[in-house]
Amino acid sequence: MRINKGLAMLELKVQGFGLNPTLLWDDELAILIDTGMPGQLEQIQLAMSEVGVSFDKLKAVILTHQDLDHIGSLPEILNQSNNDIEVYAHVFDKPYIEGTLPLIKTDPNRMSKEEWASLPEQMQFLYKNPPKSKVHKTLEGGQQLSYCGGIQVIFTPGHAPGHISLYLKQSKTLVAGDAMVVVDGVLRGPIQQTTLDMKTAIDSLEKFLDLDIETVICYHGGLCKINEKKQLEDLLVK
């Protein structure tokens, strides 16, 4: 789905659920923000083609955090591309993405026997053999990237230790990652069941109030137009 000049939200499907990576591009390159689950490379390529962007144009991937549904297809993307794609992530999540440490939420050693037994075999295999890739450049809150009209990195921990959101200056769009979700077209705060530190995650939302945001892209739920700042302020419930 094209949102603005050089900006699209990709709509991926996995087992009935929707995932929404963001695609940025200009005359020189394309950047993908998050990569879906393992096995979704073809969906990503098709979605890029539908908005008129060649997969060969992809030069960088930015990961909002370490979760499996965000890093999943990254190894396939890197293997398939003819480019030397640069991978960006926050320094706190780098060791998890690279496989030095197990992914926090899908680490079998953190699960009870009952939780593990309840998982389908396919998910057990993924949890034991998560995707991993080198992070070429680490990010910190406040950092500015010059790509595609300017990208501001916002450190929004809580959902994950190294969770980041990204403000796209040219289109006044916030790529929220999992810091927020959209439910039936309404912006909501982080999902408690999948958020490691709910208080920190809510506190992180305050950083959005200083930004001039017209549109929010949530990885879960998709697009939400911001008509007034109160939509964000209402989420800051302690």
Please give the Cα distance from 211 to 87 (Å, whole number): 26
Which distant-in-sequence residues (6+ apart) come within 8 Å of 25 by Cβ?
Answer: 6, 31, 53, 57, 148
Residue for token pair 């709509």: 11
Q: What is the pLDDT of residue 14?
A: 87
Reported residue count of the chain is 238
Which distant-in-sequence residues (6+ apart) come within 8 Å of 13 by Cβ?
Answer: 19, 43
pLDDT-flagged residues of the chain (< 50): 238
Give pLDDT tens digits for 120-143: 998 899 999 999 999 999 999 999
Q: What is the pLDDT of residue 97?
A: 98
Q: What is the pLDDT of residue 237?
A: 65
Is the whole-model pTM more than 0.75?
yes
Tokens of 110: 């953190």
Please give the Cα distance from 197 to 117 (Å, whole number): 26
